[in-house]
Structure formats: structure tokens, C-alpha cells
Amino acid sequence: MPVKAMIDKLILDITSRPGIYKFLDQNSKIIYIGKALNLKKRISSYFNKSVSGIKTQKLVEHISDIEVIITENEEEALILENTLIKKHKPKYNILLRDDKSYPYIYIDTSHEFPSIKFYRGNKNTKNGIFFGPYTQVAHVRYMLNLTQKIFKIRSCENSYFNNRNKPCLQHQINRCDAPCVGLISKEHYSTSVKNTILFLQGKNESLINEYSLKMENYSSSQEFEEASMVRDKISMIRSLTKSKNIINNQKDLDIITCSNIDDIYCIDVFLVRDGVNLGNKTFEFKNSQDSPEIILNSFFKQYYLTNNPPNKIVVPSEFQDSALLMNVLSRKHKKSIKLIYSNRKPYSTWSKICQANTDDRLQLLINSKSKDNLFASLNNDFKHIDEVENIICFDISHLSGSNTQGSCVWFTKYGPQKNLYRRYNVVDIKKSDDYGAIKFVMRKRLKKLQDENSLPDIIVVDGGKGQITQAKLVLKELNISSLMVLGIVKGHKRNTDNDRILDINFNDITLTLSKKTIITIQKMRDEAHRFAIIGQRQKSNQKQYNSKLDSIPGIGKIKKIELLKYFGGIQGVLKSSAEDLTNVSGISMHLADIIYNHLHNNEI
């Protein structure tokens, strides 16, 4: 199978979730690791014809395989990317700096009155407590601002602190209790530092309970001003109390996920150490006899009897010998080890993301094993027709009925054939007439293919009875009777698990098809939709950025840019006299008159 065709097919299978991606060469060596908010979109960009840069072109030439790891958000992808690049040192990556590259909140405990600061650097050179790493500097600044508002911990340097004889501005704006001049006792200041640490650790409920008790005591003794100050602190902390992601609340944790289709199994071990997502260890094997519970039991024993486990291990379900294994592991490693089931809160949130990653990897694995024929399962399901070699899929995209674009994508058993993709501007069709638009596009494409004697075996349309009816009308009009027509109807609440496949007679044949066939048809639909949307957006953007200068004789792209740059935009050009226009390089008096007259007498 050609490498390009294989890569195009792999891209179809990649998710649109955030995460990291790894490019591998023909020796399965990692040559590049990157992060993306949308994995599918980012990876696809490497294989566009317009890709620039010698380094990127060389990278693309050596890509033979792609692997992805899904994360919950781009921030986690950033940290994971940094970890994996330092571990694998890929050839085409710029080696990122170590943990110094991430900002921290630092509490300097070496002083009797600890300070709180923004810190970026080597943690081993400092004595104190670090919170982070944070992926956004703005978030660090925000948290520092809050801690100073609520707890009034100093942020100054020790040299500045030691030389004060009166409170500084921070005290005057109520951001510091001024320990430098003795306005707060060491005992009370230590309490503020302790509460700051609880706050940054996310132990907000414990902190609120403590403050609530203090507020009641102040109220009982009629110290209402102090009580109101404590009340304000509780209010600020309450406003920030949000449910946290498990990865931010757990120091050391393993999450095990298992996924299988038929007799192919994938097991992943996701590692969280010191609150940082370190990625996953992957295992796959083939087993045609044992149940998932037996597979998990066997794997668990083999893996953890040779690897040091964390204190908590999240598993998808109960399995045989689990209690015995926990006792053995606890004695061996001299620590308490708990087994937690993934349906328990709050572990279910993170476990769901991990399971999606394993399911996605399993699908990639299965597709790679049958990469010689994308239509293998489809041919097996449709035994009444000859072996399928080519399938085309149609879709329509528009923006509130305008800028309508039709797309037609082409697939062979090797995957998408992008040189055979086509887009069509839909003209002379009433706005929002999807049926008329799909008929227009199908007629143009099928007529051309009929003339070239290169008709496909199957037509797929994105839609149900209405779209299939239009396909039938076009086939009748062109006197084509050899093509099979399928429609794919979006599921309830647009959930892909509920998608339905209809034949040319509107019969729902979903239950007669294998899961692999349904997924293949869904990917064709998604690819046609993606291709149509890109065309529609390009058309909308082109229309949006059209200028009044575009239709003026003698004004090309370069002169247009010079005019807009000189006058700061089209409004500046409109306000200018013909004489002003001559100040622009390349604009003669004759051309200035043409521009002025066109803009003011023949506005478009």
C-alpha cells in the first residue's frame, strides 16, 4: 500500500479531540511530537499541498505512521508534550527546556515571614513550597492576586523587607499585613501562610469551615468589623470553588482501560505522578477465548508484579483475584494500595477520557491491520454485489443559505484519493434548498464521470429520504442503473452512535451492517462534510474581504495593498482627494483621477 495513501487513511481515523501526536519513521522511531487543540485538523495540515518550510517538508517525507494520545484539554497536552519530548528526543523537535520552562507559585519558607512569588526556574535551588506547574502565566498572576487579596501575604524581596521603616503601598491598598514593621504578629502571619497553602492545594471546604467558625466567634464577641472581613474572605473563596479534574487532585495514580473488538484487545495504563499526566503505556494482543475480565486479571498480575504501583489504581471493572493481588502488592511494596472502580466519582470523569483514548487507539490498530482494503468489511456485508473498488460521497454546506458549496470526495480500498476530490459552487438554486443543491452537484459530477467512463461502485449521500430521492432522479436522468446508493442519517441529538444507514429504497439497513462498515461510511460522510465546509468558508472569507478597489481598472493586488497601507484602510482612501492619492508609490495623477472618480461617482 502506498505510504501517502496509508497516511491519508490514518488521518481519517484520528479524533478531533485535544491531545498530542507522534510521527514515526519506517523503523517505528519517533521523529516528531506535537500538541494540538484539534488533532485531526493539526495533523491534516502537515499534508496540505501548501505546506511551507524545508524542515516540515523533510519531516513529512519521513513519516510512515502516526500515533496520538488524547488529553482533556490543550493545557494537559502541553505538559505531556514536554514530558515526551524530553524522554524520546525526536529528531525534528526543538528540544524544550526542562521544568524551568513552566511558571510556579512559590512560597519562600526560609524566612520567618514567608513571601509568595511568581517563580520560573530550577526548583532544586530554592527552599520552600511550589505550586504548579501552570501552563498559563496569566493564571499564575491571577492566583497570586487572589491570595494577596484574601490572605495578605507579602510578595516583596527579603532585602526590601529588611529595610522598611514604614508600610509600603501594598499595605495601603489592603494587600499586605505589613509584617516588615510589626503590624501583624508572627503567629497570626503563620496562620495566614498556612491558609494560603490550603487554598492553593484546593482544600477550600476545610478553609471555609475554619473561617466560618472564626466568623461566628467574632460575631459572638460583637467584633463585627473583624467578622465582616472574614465573611468577605469566605465569599471570595466560595466564588472560586469549582469541581476539580482528578488529575489536579491526585498525586500518584494509575488508570487502566481496556477495549476490544472481536478478539483484538488494547489495554492502556495512564500514569499520573505528582499531579502531572505522564502519558500512557500501551499493550495489545489477540485472544479468541478469554473474557475481558480474565484478560484484565492476567495483565494486572504480569504488569504490577514487575512494576512499582502507586497508592491508587483505577480499573474499569472487578476481576478475579483482585483482593489477593492488592494484599500481595501492599506487602511487597510496604504501602497501602487501593483498587478503585472507574464508575466512582470523581474518578469517572478522568477515566472516561482515558477510555476514549483506548477506544480510539483500538480502532486505529484494527484499521492498520486491514489497511490493504478499506472496504473489506463492506464487501462482506454486501455480498450480492461485485467487489467494491470506488465509493464517492456528496455533501452540501452553506452559511444561512448563502455561499452554498457542494463537495464530492472519492475513496478507494486504500483510503481517500484527494486528487479526485471536487468542489462545486451551487448556482441558480433557491437559498436553503438542500435537495436542489445536492441534485445540482450530483448531476455535474456523475455526468462528468459518465463521459469519462469512470463511474464509482457506490454513491453515499449525507441525508435521508430527500437526498436519496434526488440521487435516484439524477441516475434516472443520466440513464445509470449500475450504481448502489446509500444515505446516512444523523442520529438522535446528532450522536454518531445513533446514525442510520438507508438503502436506495429507504430501508433502514443499519442492523444488517457490521460496526466496521458503519464506521467506514461515517468517515466518508465526515470527510465530505469537512471538504465542503472548507470550501464554503474560503468563499465566505473571499467575499468578506473584497474591497471597493478590486474592480478599478489599473489597480492590481500590489497597488491595492499600498493604498490601504498608506491610508490605513478603505475609509482612509475614501476620504482622500485625488492629489492625496498621488502620494502613494506607483499612483500617477491620471490613475488617481480614475480611482477618485470610481469611488465617488460609481460606488459599488
Q: Is 464 exposed, middle or buried (0-12, 13-18, 19+ CB in 10 A)?
A: middle
Q: Is residue 223 part of a domain?
A: no
Q: What share of the chain is helix, strand, coil (3-state, %, to 5)?
A: 50, 20, 35
Give the whole-angstrom CA distance, residue 174 versus residue 389.
75
Q: What is the CATH number of the domain that holds 590?
A: 1.10.150.20
Residues 433 and 295 in one domain: no
Question: pLDDT band at 50, cuts 50/70/90?
Answer: low
pTM for the structure as a whole = 0.51
* Residue 232 falls inside a structural domain: no
Length of the chain: 604
% of the chain residues with pLDDT over 70: 86
What order do you get walking across the sheet with 30-36 strand by strand? Answer: 30-36, 19-24, 65-70
237 found inside a domain? no
pLDDT band for position 42 (50/70/90)? Answer: confident
DSSP H or E stretch at residue 67: strand 65-70
Closest CA to 175 of 192, 187, 199, 194: 192
The closest alpha carbon to 249, from 116, 136, 357, 350, belongs to 350
Range of the domain at 467: 377-542
At 484 the three-state DSSP class reads strand
Report the alpha-carbon distance of residue 123 to residue 121 in Å, rounded: 6
User: How many whole angstroms separate alpha carbon 22 and alpha carbon 81?
Assistant: 10
Q: Please report which confidence band the pLDDT of residue 245 belongs to, taking 50, 70 and 90 as the band edges.
A: very low
Last residue within a domain, chosen from 202, 231, 259: 202
Higher confidence at residue 122 or residue 164? 164
Q: Has residue 210 been placed in a domain?
A: no
604: confidence class by pLDDT, cuts 50, 70, 90: very low
Same domain, 322 and 431: no
Confidence of residue 288 (pLDDT cuts 50, 70, 90): low
Of 276 and 464, the structure prediction assigns the larger pLDDT to 464
Give CA–CA dist 86/368, Å, rounded. 28
pLDDT bin (cut points 50, 70, 90) of residue 243 is very low
Cell of 440: 445540482
Work out the pLDDT band at 372, boundaries 50, 70, 90: low
Phi, then psi, of 272 in degrees rounded to 5: -120, 120
State the DSSP string of 137-190.
HHHHHHHHHHHHHHH----S-HHHHHT-SS--HHHHTTS---GGGTSS-HHHHH
Nearest to 32 by CA among 50, 51, 55: 55
Tens of pLDDT, residue by residue over 198-210, are 777 766 677 777 7
**Is the domain of 501 the same as that of 406?**
yes
Q: What is the mean pLDDT of residues 417-421?
A: 92
Q: Is pLDDT of 121 > 70?
A: yes
Q: pLDDT averaged over the chain?
A: 81
Q: 92 and 108: one domain? A: no
- pLDDT, average across residues 486-506: 87
Mean pLDDT of 585-592: 87
Give yes or no: residues 54 and 198 share one domain.
no
Which of these three, 64, 96, 128, is where a domain ends? Answer: 96
Lowest mean pLDDT among 353-367, 428-442, 534-548: 534-548
* Residue % of the chain over a pLDDT of 90: 16
258 shares its domain with 184: no
Give a yes or no: residue 162 inside a domain.
Answer: yes
Task: Give the number of domains in the chain.
Answer: 5
* 527 shares its domain with 467: yes
CATH number of the domain within which 358 lies: 3.30.420
